[in-house]
Structures are given as C-alpha cells and as structure tokens.
Amino acid sequence: MKRLFIATLAFACVCVAREYEPNELEISVHRKEVYGLARDYVVKTFNLEVEDEGNFNPVRFNSNGVWGNFDARIKELGNDRFEVQGWLDAKGHEKAKIRWAVHIRYGLVDPMAWRYMKIGEEVENEPEFLGWKFGDYYSLGYKAEYDPMFVKRTFR
C-alpha cells in the first residue's frame, strides 16, 4: 500500500509540474502593465506635467516580439527584458513630441504559481529599470540589446 501511495504521488508530481505557457490575453495584459510602468517612470523621473501622449495598443505588431504600433510600442528583448518606446507632450518643453524609451526587466508571473509554493512564500515581481532615453538625453550605459537565446529562438 505504501508503494502504491509513493508511486501515485510521484506520478501526480510529474503530471502537475509543467512549464507555464501564458495565453495571448495574459501576455497582452502584461505588456499593457509594462508600458504603464515605463510611462510612469518617465513622468516621475523628469517631473513632467503631461498634456498629450501616445496611447499603447496592446496587440502583437509582428511575430518578432514587438507589441503596439509606431507611436507607442514594446520590443521584447528576451530574459524578461523589454524596450518600451513612446512619446509625450509635456508642459514647459519646446518640442511638441518628445520621444522616450525605457529599458525594463519585468517578468510575467504564473497566476497559478500559488499551487507550487510553500505556505507564506511570496513571489516578488518588482520592475527593474535598466536605462532610459528622453529626447536627446539618455542614461549612462543604456543598451537595449537582444538576449542571444531569444535571438536564436525567435529569428531562426
């Protein structure tokens, strides 16, 4: 009886432990959240009063990991990294449209991950801002390059 229990438990663990594959809706919601985080980062960092801005449309632009449109978009770089691009018109700036870009790391968390965690364990998923561009200015070391494994998998 004990062997049967152990065999059943081992089989159940193999069947349940799966790789998380998000669907298109979950990815779309995540990309919208990433864009919002990057936009808020730019507005707070530069203390801007926004008068007009580009709106992000969370739909897949092409099969190479680009979401949005030409005005506001997200480029997937691999390893949970994204380059978010947009524009805004801020009070006090002489240019009508200021282009901005933020390099951010923000993963997509499995909504059912609670099944595989210990009691009291929490998943920390805080955004990590790796660099920015704002008009003609940019942060030191701003590099938004593709992850080699992502390139191998996506651009065969």
What is the Cα–Cα distance from 111 to 126, expressed in whole angstroms?
15
Question: Is 79 part of any domain?
Answer: yes
Question: Is 44 part of any domain?
Answer: yes
Alpha helices (H) in the chain, listed in sequence order: 2-16, 24-45, 148-154
What is the structure's pLDDT at 140? 85
Question: Is 17 part of any domain?
Answer: no
Question: Is 2 part of any domain?
Answer: no
Question: Is 71 part of any domain?
Answer: yes
pLDDT digits (tens, 9 = 90+) for 52-93: 999 998 887 777 778 888 889 999 998 899 999 999 999 888
For 144, the token pair is 């938004």
Question: Is 63 part of any domain?
Answer: yes
What is the Cα–Cα distance from 63 to 67, expressed in whole angstroms?
9
Domain residues for the domain of 150 are 22-154
Q: Is residue 37 predicted with pLDDT exceeding 70?
A: yes
Q: Are 104 and 76 in contact (CB under 8 A)?
A: no
Total domains present in the chain: 1
Question: Is 61 part of any domain?
Answer: yes
Question: Is 64 part of any domain?
Answer: yes
What is the structure's pLDDT at 142? 81
